[in-house]
Amino acid sequence: MNLNEYPTAIAKLQAEVLGLDLTIEQTHATIKQIEADIDSQVAFDTTLRNDTQRKAKRQELLDEHLQYWEQQEILSQYRSKREQAFIQLCLRRNEFSVLKLEKREAIARLELQANS
């Protein structure tokens, strides 16, 4: 990759990471909404007599809620994709830095030769 191609590549990776961050936030919000709905069901269930019963019922409802577990899996996958994209972003940034240093070193050598 040429030096002038790095900023565009870095920007694309930053946009990808941002997009994944937004998807992660949306998925997390969906999970929180499911949990809030279940918490509401448990709170208004008059057959539950104490906190232990409410916690057990909450967990039972979560375990039975297919979308909850699907969203958990999706969240996990997006977090993994985000980490992979972030690693690529860091790699491109580091490669860009090294390439710039190499170019500066080459320019300094040329200047030194010209002054000799």
Average pLDDT over residues 13-42: 98
Average pLDDT over residues 55-83: 97
Distance of alpha carbon 43 from alpha carbon 77, whole angstroms? 32
Q: Are 71 and 34 in contact (CB under 8 A)?
A: yes
Averaged pLDDT of the chain = 96
Residues in the chain: 116
Cα 35 to chain centroid distance, Å, stands at 21
Residue 116 has pLDDT above 90, yes or no: no
pLDDT at residue 25, as a whole number: 98
Spans of all domains in the chain = 3-115
